[in-house]
Amino acid sequence: MNKAETRFKMIKERHKKTFFKAVEEKKADKQMISLCSYIAETKNYFTSSSCSGRIVLLDLAKDGNKKEAAFHSKWHRKVKLKELITEIKRKQNEEELWFKLDSFILHLGTNSLENAKKILKITRKTGIRRAGIMVAEEGKFIIELIGTQTMSFPVKIKGKILLEEEYLKKTLEKANQKLEKNYNQLKEFEKNVRKELK
Domain extents in the chain: 3-196
84-123: pLDDT as tens digits: 999 999 987 778 999 999 999 999 999 999 999 999 999 9
Does CATH place domain 3-196 in 3.30.1960.10? yes
Closest C-alpha to 108, from 14, 13, 5, 15: 15
- Radius of gyration in angstroms for the set of CA atoms belonging to the chain, rounded to a whole number: 19
Percent of the chain with pLDDT over 90: 84
Spatial separation of the C-alpha atoms in residues 44 and 5, rounded to whole Å: 10
| Beta-bridge partners for 143 | 108, 133
12-57: pLDDT as tens digits: 999 999 999 999 999 999 999 999 999 999 999 999 999 999 999 9
Cβ atoms of residues 63 and 141 within 8 Å: no
pLDDT surpasses 80 at 140: yes
Cβ atoms of residues 29 and 179 within 8 Å: no
In angstroms, the Cα distances linking 51 to 29, 32, 114 are 7, 7, 25
Query: Cα 56 to the chain's mean position, in Å?
Result: 12
Spatial separation of the C-alpha atoms in residues 81 and 83, rounded to whole Å: 6
CB atoms within 10 A of CB 197: 18
Cβ atoms of residues 46 and 10 within 8 Å: no
pTM: 0.91
Spatial separation of the C-alpha atoms in residues 150 and 102, rounded to whole Å: 5
Q: In what order do the strands lie in the sheet with 130-137?
A: 45-51, 105-110, 140-146, 130-137
